[in-house]
C-alpha cells in the first residue's frame, strides 16, 4: 500500500470516528458523554495552543486568561442580562478576543521566556480583577440559576427525540457543541495553514528574517493568530462552564487545568502538527482513567512521560508515527511547481 493510499485510509477512519463520536449520546451512557465532553474541550484548547506555540512560535502560559474571561462573560450574559447560555457562548468568545488585544500590546514587546512569563502575569491580573466582580460572587464565585441548563435552546427537542431526562439532554447538547467546535477548529486550522497566510506563519516559525525578506509581516501575522486563538479558547471556556455550572476565579483561571495539561497534551502528541493534539488528548484521557485513583502519582507519571517524549521523540508520538509509516493525515507541505507534471500544449 502506497503512502497516499495509507493517508486516504486514515482520513476515512477519521471521518468514521467523528460519526461514531456523534452517536455517543444516543448509544453511550451519560457518564461517557460527560467524560468525552471534557476530552473534546481539552482538544479544542490544545489545538488553539498548538497553533500559537507550534506554528506561530508564541509559547503562552496564560491561556487560562481566555478560558476564564470566556466563562465569566457567559455567566454575566446569563445572570445579569438574562441571555440563554448558548448565545452567551459567543459572548465569551468575543470577550476573550477583546481581552487579547491589550495583552498582545504588552506581551508582544517580549520574547522567548519573557513572553511566556508575561502571558502568565497577564492571566493573574485578569483573575484578580474577576475576583472583584461582586455581581458574580467575587472571590468565591457563583452558580448558574437553577434549571438554566435544562431550559437552554434545543434541550426540549433533544429530550423528546432521545427520550431522556432534561439533564441528560443538556449534556448531549453541550457534547455535540464540543464535538462541533473541535472538528471546526481542526479543519479551520488546516485550511488556514494551507493558505498564503499559513505558509507565511510557518516561514516565520522557521526563520523570521527570511520570512520578512520575502514580504511577510511577522508582527501582524502573529497578532492575528493570537487574537483568533483567544476567540476559540474563549468559546471553549464558556462551553466548559455551562457544563460545570459554577464559576470562580480559581477554577476559571486555573493554570494547571487549562494550560499545563494542554501543554502536556500538545507536546506528547506532537507540537507543530495538526493530528498531534488529537493523539495527545487520547493518551492523556487513558492515563487519567488508569491513574486517577493514585493521587499525586498521576501527576508525577504525566511529568515523567512528558520528559521522556521531549528527550527521545521531540516530534511527539504523531511525529514518530509519521516518520515510521509515512502516513500524513493532514499534510501541510505544498508541492513545488517544478515537481508538478507538465501539461502538453494543445490539451
Domain boundaries, the chain: 28-253, 254-327
Long-range contacts of 141-145 (CB under 8 A, 24+ apart): 141/246, 141/247, 141/248, 141/249, 141/251, 141/252, 142/75, 142/79, 142/246, 142/247, 142/248, 143/245, 143/246, 143/247, 144/75, 144/78, 144/79, 144/85, 144/242, 144/245, 144/246, 145/78, 145/79
Model confidence at 334, pLDDT cuts 50, 70, 90, reads low
Report, as an integer, the average pLDDT of 184-202: 91
Looking at residue 205, its pLDDT comes to: 82
Report, as an integer, the average pLDDT of 247-251: 96
Residue 276 has pLDDT above 70, yes or no: yes
State how far Cα 291 lies from the chain centre.
23
The one-character DSSP state at 108 is T
CA–CA gap between residue 290 and residue 217 (Å, rounded): 46
Segment among 17-26, 123-132, 289-298 with least mean pLDDT: 289-298
Tell me what percent of the residues of the chain surpass a pLDDT of 90.
71
Looking at residue 1, its pLDDT comes to: 58
* pLDDT, tens only, 78-103: 999 999 999 999 999 999 999 999 99
Tell me what percent of the residues of the chain surpass a pLDDT of 70.
94
The candidate with the shortest Cα–Cα distance to 99, out of 236, 227, 247, 250, is: 227
Looking at residue 202, its pLDDT comes to: 84
Segment among 153-157, 204-208, 222-226, 285-289 with least mean pLDDT: 204-208
Q: 74 by DSSP, 3-state: which?
A: helix
Looking at residue 338, its pLDDT comes to: 44
The pTM assigned to this predicted structure is 0.92
Q: What values do phi and psi take at 341, rounded to 5? A: -65, 135
C-alpha dihedral sign at 30, 36, 40, 41? positive
CA–CA gap between residue 328 and residue 61 (Å, rounded): 29
Residue carrying the nine cell digits 500538545: 266
Residue 114 has pLDDT above 80, yes or no: yes
State how far Cα 165 lies from the chain centre.
29
Q: What values do phi and psi take at 109, rounded to 5? A: -85, -5
Looking at residue 289, its pLDDT comes to: 87
Residue 347 has pLDDT above 50, yes or no: no
Report, as an integer, the average pLDDT of 291-316: 85
CA–CA gap between residue 232 and residue 93 (Å, rounded): 6
> Which position has the higher pLDDT, 4 or 267?
267
Looking at residue 60, its pLDDT comes to: 95
> Which position has the higher pLDDT, 282 or 216?
282
Report, as an integer, the average pLDDT of 145-166: 93
> Which position has the higher pLDDT, 345 or 266?
266
Looking at residue 336, its pLDDT comes to: 47
Model confidence at 333, pLDDT cuts 50, 70, 90, reads low
Amino acid at each position: 500500500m502506497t503512502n497516499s493510499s495509507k493517508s486516504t485510509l486514515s482520513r476515512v477512519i477519521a471521518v468514521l470516528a467523528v460519526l461514531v463520536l456523534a452517536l455517543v449520546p444516543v448509544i453511550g451512557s451519560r457518564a461517557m458523554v460527560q467524560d468525552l465532553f471534557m476530552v473534546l474541550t481539552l482538544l479544542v484548547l490544545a489545538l488553539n495552543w498548538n497553533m500559537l506555540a507550534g506554528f506561530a512560535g508564541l509559547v503562552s502560559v496564560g491561556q487560562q486568561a481566555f478560558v476564564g474571561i470566556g466563562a465569566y462573560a457567559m455567566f454575566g450574559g446569563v445572570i445579569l442580562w438574562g441571555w440563554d447560555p448558548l448565545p452567551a457562548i459567543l459572548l465569551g468568545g468575543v470577550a476573550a478576543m477583546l481581552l487579547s488585544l491589550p495583552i498582545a500590546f504588552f506581551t508582544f514587546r517580549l520574547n522567548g521566556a519573557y513572553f511566556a512569563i508575561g502571558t502568565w502575569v497577564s492571566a493573574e491580573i485578569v483573575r484578580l480583577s474577576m475576583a472583584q466582580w461582586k455581581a458574580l460572587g467575587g472571590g468565591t464565585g457563583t452558580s448558574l440559576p437553577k434549571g438554566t441548563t435544562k431550559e437552554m435552546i434545543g434541550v426540549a427537542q433533544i429530550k423528546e427525540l432521545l427520550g431522556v431526562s432534561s439533564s441528560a439532554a443538556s449534556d448531549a447538547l453541550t457534547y455535540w457543541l464540543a464535538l462541533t467546535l473541535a472538528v471546526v477548529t481542526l479543519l479551520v486550522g488546516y485550511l488556514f495553514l494551507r493558505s498564503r497566510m499559513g505558509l507565511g506563519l510557518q516561514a516565520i516559525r522557521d526563520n523570521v528574517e527570511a520570512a520578512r525578506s520575502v514580504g511577510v509581516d511577522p508582527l501582524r501575522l502573529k497578532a492575528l493568530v493570537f487574537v483568533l486563538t483567544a476567540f476559540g479558547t474563549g468559546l471553549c471556556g464558556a462551553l466548559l462552564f455551562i457544563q460545570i455550572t459554577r464559576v470562580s476565579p480559581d477554577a476559571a483561571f486555573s493554570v494547571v487545568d487549562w494550560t499545563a495539561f494542554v501543554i502536556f497534551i500538545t507536546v506528547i502528541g506532537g507540537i507543530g502538527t495538526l493530528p498531534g493534539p488529537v493523539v495527545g488528548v487520547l493518551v492523556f484521557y487513558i492515563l487519567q482513567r488508569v491513574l486517577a485513583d493514585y493521587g499525586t502519582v498521576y501527576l508525577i507519571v504525566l511529568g515523567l512521560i512528558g520528559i521522556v517524549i521531549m528527550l527521545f521523540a521531540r516530534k511527539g508520538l504523531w511525529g514518530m508515527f509519521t516518520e515510521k509509516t509515512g502516513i500524513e493525515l493532514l499534510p501541510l507541505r505544498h508541492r513545488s511547481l517544478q515537481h508538478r507534471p507538465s501539461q502538453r500544449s494543445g490539451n
